[in-house]
Amino acid sequence: MTRTALLFLLATLLGVQAHAQQPAVPTDQGPVRGQQRGEVRRFLGLPYAAPPVGHLRWKAPQPGPTWTVPREATTFGPVCTQVVVGLFDVPGETKGDVKGSEDCLYLNVYAPAQSTSAARLPVMVWIHGGGFTIGAGSEYDPSVLVQKHGVVVVTLNYRLGALGFLAHPGLDAESAEGTSGNYGLLDQQAALRWVGRNIAAFGGNPGNVTLFGESAGGMSVCAHLASPASAGLFQKAIIQSGLCASPNNTVTAAQASRRNVAYAARLGCRTGGVACLRGLDARTVATTAVPGLRGLGNLVWSPVYGTSLLPRTLGEAFDTGAFNRVPVMVGSNHDEGRLFISLAAPAGKPIQLWQYWGASGLLVGAAKNGRVLAEYPGRSFSTPALAFATVFTDAMFSCPALRVSRSLSRYVRTSAYEFNDPQAVTTLKAPADLPGLGAFHSSGLVYAFQTPIVGLGDPAQFSAQQRRLSDEFSASWARFAGTGDPNPTGRTPWTPFDASRGNVWIFRPTGSSESTTFGQDHRCDFWSGLGLN
């Protein structure tokens, strides 16, 4: 045997021995064996439900598989079927490609290396964003959160796009309640129930679960706050850039079902029966667009309302107190819209004034556009791109977040915040007609997780001030998960939101503090008067 072969054999034997020393953790489906990296144990690719394929496509998630021999939980499960949209530069991906699988209902558990079933650590369950059409739990590494703050973190996949949110008359007819859609939310609930049954074995406290998410994940958190079926599945909630009260987020299941008849026809299924739809390959379903839909902010594949899962819109639920009453953190970024403008701008060409006028009209409607352009005149901004980015930020994110805080704070402790690093780290490049990306949509995630996120940024880029900001921002999320109070120790108190004061905690690299001018800064009285939030 050659020296190289001997070394390889020795390394293999040592690896097997080290792996065998990892104890299996029991779950209600069977034992699982993960791997330890540094001070964190990772259990990857755990199936929390049966693969939603064949006759289970567009059905509520069913119980997952069982096993008796320890399952090796060392690799991520497949991501859910999705079209690569090319928002970020990801190695090996090309815009328009389809990746993933319908067999995708997997979650991942990260726990401190020394935690035992007696530890009862706070649990944080992460719901990824991506407009309900892209993303995966595996894109986020919570190892630093786990190691630094002594929490157990779960990331998960859920069905996306039409496969996750199709409402259709044929599916309505199958349902006992006569409505369809929201399968992705049902997946999330199934994952939360899995956490409730099993997380204690990983050192987590099933009675102290914080649901947290960003963008579509943040809207998902809002949906679970509003869903009677999610009652008791979590005890705290963090909503980051959630779009929960933004315009157009009020589509009923009945409206979506009627709309999607044309979508089914485009797929070649004109009879209304679901057998044709279930017989299509996932790629065709994922790549076929809904005909006739226009307008910015139109959430084509997203939660629908008027169902037993979501009997009320999010705004109605929060305004009337008909939601699951747990402590909540509500946050947004100072420059949310700059990312969307950067991605939507013609390649290499600045946005013209007439394009700003037209895009604003698509966002708010022609009848209200004149008032918006008078409030945000193009001449008041250095470029039309910045004008529209500001409109988009205020109308779709900042003021809706303030409205959510006002509504929730009447019933539960609510902590409102804004992430505002004017030069947030990123691998993205701003177009020439924007003065940088600022605190753009999703920019706070690298600061919260403190690990690299492909396409967004890397903590290795932090300056000393940004490192301190990241430590503070991340710790506030973990502290809230533990106690329901995000207050930074030894700093000016972050007081619960008071609608009469409009107080919002502003995270800045130069020093974080409370502000009572957030509403004025984002012109929220104007948007409220316009009836858009």
- Residue 40 pLDDT more than 70? yes
Whole-number percent of the chain with pLDDT over 90: 85
Backbone conformation region of residue 158, classed left if phi is above 0, alpha if psi is from -120 to 50, else beta: beta
**Looking at residue 523, what is its pLDDT?**
98
H-helix segments, 328-427:
337-344, 353-364, 366-375, 384-393, 399-409
The whole-number pLDDT of residue 297 equals 40
Which whole number is the average pLDDT over 262-275?
A: 88
Report CA 365 to chain centroid distance, whole Å.
Answer: 27
**Catalytic residue at 332?**
no
The pLDDT score that the predictor gives to residue 5 is 41
Number of alpha carbons in the 13 Å side-chain half-sphere of residue 30: 14
DSSP classification of residue 139: G
249 band by pLDDT with thresholds 50, 70 and 90: confident
Tokens representing 268? 């070649």
Mean pLDDT, range 97-104, rounded to an integer: 97
Query: What average pLDDT does the structure give for the chain?
Result: 92
Which of 336, 476, 512, 515 is catalytic? The answer is 336
| Cα 480 from Cα 392, distance rounded (Å) | 29
Residue of 239, 171, 516 whose CA lies nearest to 405: 239
Residue 122 has pLDDT above 90, yes or no: yes
- φ, ψ at 251 (rounded to 5°): -70, 130
CA–CA dist 523, 55 (Å, integer): 50
State the average pLDDT over residues 204-219.
Answer: 98
For residues 342-360, average pLDDT: 88
Looking at residue 22, its pLDDT comes to: 78
Segment 420-440 shows an average pLDDT of 95
Can you tell me the distance from the alpha carbon of 311 to that of 308, in angstroms, rounded to the nearest whole number?
A: 5
Class of domain 18-346+402-519: alpha beta
Q: Does the pLDDT at position 417 exceed 90?
A: yes
Check 149, 334, 441, 522 and give the catalytic one. Answer: 441
* H or E segment and range at residue 415: strand 414-419
Work out the number of other CB atoms within 10 angstroms of the CB of residue 275.
10
Question: How far is residue 38's CA from residue 110's CA, in Å, rounded to a whole number?
Answer: 12
Catalytic residue among 215, 230, 342, 415: 215
**How far apart are alpha carbons 243 and 222 in whole angstroms?**
9
Active site residue 441: yes
H or E, element range at 258:
helix 253-266
Active-site residue flag, 215: yes
pLDDT band, very low/low/confident/very high, at 21 (cuts 50, 70, 90): low
Long-range contacts of 90-96 (CB under 8 A, 24+ apart): 90/454, 90/455, 91/454
Compute the average pLDDT of residues 486-498.
84
pLDDT (0 to 100) of residue 15: 40
Range scoring the smallest mean pLDDT among 17-21, 155-159, 255-259: 17-21
